[in-house]
Every structure is written in C-alpha cells, then in structure tokens.
Structure 1
Amino acid sequence: MSRPLPGPERSPADNAQLALLLEVAGTPKPGNVDRQRDLDDLRFEHFLTGAVGAREGLERAESGARVGHAFERAVAGMGRQGGGNTQFGCLLLLAPLVRTVASEAALSPSAVDRVVRATTVDDAVDFYRAFEHVDVAVGDPPSDAPVLDVRRGGDAAPTLRERELTLYDVMALSAEPDEGVPDANATEWVGEFTRSFAAAEGILADDGPVLDRVARAFLRLLAEAPDTLVATHRDADVARDVMQRAAAVGDDLVAAEELAAEFREEGINPGTTADLTCAATFIGLERGLEL
C-alpha cells in the first residue's frame, strides 16, 4: 500500500488546496458547512468544487504572481460551482501566505507582513474585480469612502488609481471601521496574521485526527473575537453573543454538536472564523502537520 505524500514533498499550492479541503471537512463547526451539515443553498460539494477551481490562482501565487492577481484568479475559479461564494475569505488569506512561502526563506509573521506591505494599486484593482465573480456579504464602507465600496467591483479602479491605494491600504480601511466589528481578515492582513499563526500552533500542539484538530481550532477562534460575517448578516451584539456561546463550549466537540444544531436553527453562519481556520491549517501544513 502506498504511503501518504509527506509534507515537505507537497508544494505551497498543494498545501493551500489541502487546507481548503481540510477546513470544510472538519466537524462540527457550528453554523458552517462541514462534512455533516449543509446550509439551505450551500452544500459540502460546493466547497469541494470551489477548492478544485481555486487551484490555478494558488499556483500563480506560488509561481510569483502578484498577490491581487493570484487572488482574483483563484476566486474566479472557485466561483465556478452552483453554490456561489464558498471560500472568498479563505483565498484572501491564502494568496499572500502562498506567495510568502514562494518568495521568502521561511513562513513567519514578519515575512508575510513584508509581502502584504509590498502589494500595489494593481493588486487593489484585482481585489475589487474579484467581487464581480461571486456575491460576497460585506458591510458598508467607512463614511468617508463610499466610492471605495467593494460592491462597485472594477468600477472602483479609477478611484483606487487616483488615490494610489494599494491592496494593503484597502485592508487597513476595513480593519479600522468607523463603528462595529472590524473585518477579521483585513485585521490579519495588517496585523502580521497573528491569529492565524497562533491557531496553527494550537493545531500542531493538539493530537488526534487532523479533522478534529481543525474543528477544535475553529471553536477556539470563534471564542476569541466576534465573527465578522455574523456581525454583517446580523449585528455586533449577536456576534458577541456567538463568541460567548462558543467560549462556553470550549473545544469540546461533543458539546459543539448541540451548538451546531442551535446555530443552524438560528441561521447563524460564522464564516469569517472558517477563513482564519483555513489559514491556520495551511500554516500548520507548511510547518509539518502530518496526515
């Protein structure tokens, strides 16, 4: 019988695609699609198909393409399935992480920070164009930047070029909103991916099946901070309540099954926490997580 492919022989694009698959296969992840649960219009199979479709963009990041270009291509491929947006936020975190592995000596917070700070106006334009491929739930832009609403897609390009805003600059705007819950993915971008790296260390230090470790990482991340997608779909108070309910469960996967049923009934979908879980899984794989 053949042996599993060891981590060092997998490419960064391999590990990124594998992280997308492991994230959605982990269970229970209360409120999210996993291998045991579908949502009404978004199913497990859509995520598997999205992970396959994202491959070209991930390979471009590995080959040295600009972060924004690789991300836009990954989103375009991901969107070629019947469920719509499955892994937009995951890819927003994976693209710079894969690019970092390809261009830096080691995957570290400071290394990925150098990569995201080096993004350009063209990267920002590509980021906006990615919103034309799928319908992404987003909050309103800061009050002084309505012309930078990401829902404008490529139409925002003239403003981005006029103001010379890089993709890092755009992320900084979302990480510090006028009010409400900051965008957790944007906060990772401007904060050296702090939570993703910490969660990766938790996965590596854990034991048992990898999919259980991924699910426990999700629960710990959910208990740390309000989920951006929950705050966008509902409000900040609901997001904080979700955080507290996750904290009460801890990383007990049995107790989390009941919480998953409750969130499913209440229509609560902590999707941004899944994005961070995916990024953490990729970092763990790059650092030797064995399968």
Structure 2
Amino acid sequence: MERWRIVKAFTLGPMLEAAIPKPGNVNRFADFEDLSLYHFLFGNTSVLPVYYEAIKTGELVRKGIIEPNEAGIGELIKRAVSESRKAQDANPNFGVITLSIPLMMGLAMARNIMEGPEKAAMLLRESTVRDTMELYRAIRIANPKGIPSGVKYDVYSDDSFRELFRDGIDLWALAEMSCERELIFCEWVNSYGLSYQTADRLVELLKEFPLEEAVVMGFIELMAEETDTLILRKAGAEEAERVKDAARKVLTGDMTVEELDTFLREKGDLRNPGSLADITAVSLSLLALSGLRVEMRGGKVFGVI
C-alpha cells in the first residue's frame, strides 16, 4: 500500500475518535482536568514523521533489505511517544501509537488490508529484547495512568532491563504475559481481532446512521461486551464491570447515552474507557484506509465508504 495513504488513515482515525462525543471520553464538547481535545490534535499530528518511517521500514522488510528482527518496533514506538510529548504535556495517544505502529508496518508489507495483522504478528514474533526495553522507555515517557508497581518486570524498576535481558523477553512474550491487564497487548497476540471486528460493525452502522451516531453506538456496544483495561487498572474489576453494566443498560433502553456519560464522569477520569477508545481509533483508521469520506445530508454528517 502507498505510504501516505496509510499515514493519512492512521492520523485521521485517532483524530475522529477524539472529536466524536463518545460517552466518558475527551471529545469536542468535553475535556478532563488534565487532558483536552487539543492534546489529541497536537499529539496525533506530531507523530507523522515517525509513522512515515515505520511504514518505510515495513517496506524494507518486505523487500528483504532488512530482516524482521531489525525492524525496531520498540524504537519507533519510543520515538513517536517522545514526539507526542514534545508537542503537549499529557498522554493522549500512547495506546494508539503502540497499537498502530506494528499494524502500519504490517500493512506496508501486505497485499491488502486483511493481511496486515498477519504481517504485524510476524514482526512482533521476530522482535528482540531491545524492542521491549525501548517500549519500556516509551512507557516511562508517556507515563500512562494505572501502571502497576511491584510486579514482575516492573516498568519503573531499575532492575527491569536486566531482568528482561536475562529472561529474553521480546515484545511477543511481553504481550502474552500482559494481555489480561492491557488490551493493546491482547490485540497484538490476537491479530487485531477486536479492532477489525469493530471496524466491520462500524461499516454496518454507517449504512443506517450519521457518522457520530454510528461511532457512539458502536463504542457503547464495545463497552457492553469488553472490559476496558484502563478502567480495570485504575479503578479495579468492580468498577470495570459497573461500566459494562451501564453500557448494557443503554442498549436495552434502560439508560440514555447522556446518563451513561454522566455516570462515567462522576469520578473524573477514573471510569474513562480509554483502552476501548484506542480500539475505536484504530478501527476508524482502518475505515479511513478503506476510503471513508464524509457527506452532508439534511444538515447531518454521514460517513461513506
């Protein structure tokens, strides 16, 4: 696939996700105390050069010029996170960056969109311990909320790099052991199944509803089915389950979208479904890659593929 086509798609997707008024998230109508829509705009555009290089690297692997274990996924993620941090003072897009870079590289190696996850998985399987160390450095730069301390391979421990090297923990091994507490890693090892499934569902919803309504509905369906690991890490299993229950009530008509949004914001950003927002961003990127465009109909914006 053409480089800039992938870059544009994976820039537009996260910006759409951030702007659309999804319940519990930053959007064009709502900010958090320490995170605004502007953080997303600045953060998601600052990574463009690194995204371009990631795609170019995927092409070099495809052509056999470099080996898969030389792709440097960890370094690319770290550089993208660093560029984002230079542009703003929060963490709007660590999850999106970490999801997107391997997939973009895979798409650069693929014959079509559906083959991208297979190629991404190959790159992740061929990653090195150095990639994991660079990912840890990226996490330290981004400083996401809810990262546990005192666990094995503690991100913030001075001993972690020695332990990773000793045990030979590449990105694939890290993802396998961390899937339960981080949805991003589940997507890595499950070939981006949830991202592609969500994209397919959004395609169906876009046939019936305006763009924002379709994305909000798809997001609530996602919340009703999947545990948001950001909420799980920050607030615990009970709160994460309460969020799922609330989303289900919207689908059954027992709660409005507005009531859900109020419930999610009752405790600041503690119930912010950020991991599922990252999935939605990648799904929208896949739609953009498939040719998503907007049309006005009766004063409303519709998304058309």
For 1:69-88, list aligned pairs within 5 A: 69-88=75-94
Q: Which sits farther off after the overlay, 111-120 or 122-131?
A: 111-120
Q: Distance in 2 between matches of 1:251 and 1:278?
A: 25
Which residue identity does 1:104 align to in structure 2? Answer: A
Q: Distance in 2 between matches of 1:251 and 1:26?
A: 23
Contact 1:172–1:187 (CA under 8 A) maintained in structure 2: yes
Matched, 1:133 2:141: yes
In structure 2, the residue matched to 1:222 is 223
How far did residue 226 of structure 1 move? 1.5
Q: Distance in 1 between matches of 2:210 and 2:127?
A: 37
Q: Determine which structure has more spread, i.e. the larger CA radius of gyration.
A: 2
In structure 1, the residue matched to 2:175 is 171
Matched, 1:66 2:59: no
Which residue identity does 1:45 align to in structure 2? Answer: Y
How far did residue 266 of structure 1 move? 2.7
Contact 2:3–2:52 (CA under 8 A) maintained in structure 1: no
Q: Distance in 1 between matches of 2:120 and 2:33?
A: 36
Q: Distance in 2 between matches of 1:55 and 1:8?
A: 15
Q: Which sits farther off after the overlay, 205-214 or 194-203?
A: 205-214
In structure 1, the residue matched to 2:11 is 17
Distance 1:123 1:212, change over 3 A: farther
Contact 1:75–1:91 (CA under 8 A) maintained in structure 2: yes
1:150 to 135, 148, 155: 155
In structure 1, the residue matched to 2:284 is 281
User: 5+ unaligned residues in a row in structure 2: which ranges?
Assistant: 58-70, 295-305
Contact 1:128–1:152 (CA under 8 A) maintained in structure 2: no
Instruction: Classify the secondary structure of the residue corresponding to 1:79.
Output: helix
Contact 1:22–1:211 (CA under 8 A) maintained in structure 2: no
Q: Distance in 2 between matches of 1:118 and 1:26?
A: 36
How far did residue 56 of structure 1 move? 2.3
Which residue identity does 1:241 align to in structure 2? Answer: R
How far did residue 210 of structure 1 move? 3.2
Contact 1:57–1:72 (CA under 8 A) maintained in structure 2: no
How far did residue 212 of structure 1 move? 3.4
How far did residue 10 of structure 1 move? 4.9
Q: Distance in 1 between matches of 2:171 and 2:228?
A: 22
Contact 2:26–2:32 (CA under 8 A) maintained in structure 1: yes
In structure 2, the residue matched to 1:184 is 183
**Deviation per CA, 1:156-191, whole angstroms, max 9, x where unpaired?**
333222222111111111114xxxxx3211111111
Q: Distance in 2 between matches of 1:10 and 1:203?
A: 23
How far did residue 284 of structure 1 move? 1.9
User: 5+ unaligned residues in a row in structure 1: which ranges?
Assistant: 1-6, 177-181
Distance 1:54 1:175, change over 3 A: same
- Aligned-pair identity (%): 28
Contact 1:55–1:77 (CA under 8 A) maintained in structure 2: no
In structure 1, the residue matched to 2:256 is 255
Instruction: Classify the secondary structure of the residue corresponding to 1:80.
Output: helix
Distance 1:9 1:124, change over 3 A: closer
Q: Distance in 2 between matches of 1:35 and 1:188?
A: 27
Which residue identity does 2:185 align to in structure 1? Answer: A
Which residue identity does 1:151 align to in structure 2? Answer: Y
Q: Distance in 1 between matches of 2:37 and 2:76?
A: 24
In structure 2, the residue matched to 1:34 is 27
Contact 1:216–1:251 (CA under 8 A) maintained in structure 2: no
Q: Distance in 1 between matches of 2:85 and 2:252?
A: 32
In structure 2, the residue matched to 1:271 is 274
In structure 2, the residue matched to 1:49 is 42
Contact 1:72–1:130 (CA under 8 A) maintained in structure 2: yes
Contact 2:222–2:276 (CA under 8 A) maintained in structure 1: yes
Instruction: Classify the secondary structure of the residue corresponding to 1:63.
Output: helix
Distance 1:23 1:269, change over 3 A: same
2:123 to 106, 115, 119: 115
**Deviation per CA, 1:63-110, whole angstroms, max 9, x where unpaired?**
115322221111111112444111111111111111111112223343
Question: TM-score, with normalisation over the residues of structure 2?
Answer: 0.82
Question: TM-score, with normalisation over the residues of structure 1?
Answer: 0.86
Which residue identity does 2:112 align to in structure 1? Answer: A
Q: Distance in 1 between matches of 2:135 and 2:2?
A: 31
Q: Distance in 2 between matches of 1:195 and 1:159?
A: 31
